[in-house]
Amino acid sequence: MTNTKTKLANPMKVVTGIDTRWSYVNAWEPKSIEGSEPKYSVSLIIPKTDTRTVARIRAAIQAAYKDGESKLKGNGKSVPAFDLIKNPLRDGDREKADDPAYASSYFVNANSKLAPQIVDRDLQPIIDRAEVYSGVYGRASITFYAFNTNGNKGIACSLNNLQKIADGDPLGGKSRAEDDFATEDEDDFLA
């Protein structure tokens, strides 16, 4: 008898923790970077204190490396050493030292040709685009895979779906209308 609820675990798939912050969010419309094919994308900022998510990501990257050995090898005689290929888990303190949003964090850039589903805490679809912005806290479903393109070899990250958990201060200096007009104090400029 087969259990229809049994899921095949994909060792290259990770769901981040709830303290992951989204930056450079392009979840509604695909965006082209320097003439490349348009893609949906997000930079996932993961606090270094979220050791569980970081460990899962590292394990998934290793699984993608093992799974993609033949792709990484290409026409070469051997698979390049892990530390010689591009790694998607990056250190915000080293690579984005001038951006306080990335302090004490790692980050992963995830993208996809297909639009991610975006849901709220209760797993209900988010329709209001203003609810999803750079600065939101939420979980992300991502999958790692090996690539070998034009001599560039490494592990990349595919964006599957997003779940918004909480609002955060908008990144990039733009305020939200809800915050700008939250007070009822009005200066009577006509008086």
Q: pTM for this structure?
A: 0.85
Tens digits of per-residue pLDDT, 113-122?
999 999 999 9
pLDDT at position 6 over 90: no
At 61, phi and psi to the nearest 5? -65, -45
Instruction: Tell me the domains of the chain and their CATH numbers.
Output: 13-62+87-141+156-170 (2.40.50.140)
β-sheet bridge partners, residue 146: 155
Tens digits of per-residue pLDDT, 22-52?
999 999 999 998 888 999 999 999 999 999 9
> Which of 70-74, 124-128, 133-137 has the least mean pLDDT?
70-74
Q: Give residue 173's pLDDT.
A: 63
Most trustworthy range by pLDDT among 17-21, 172-176, 182-186: 17-21
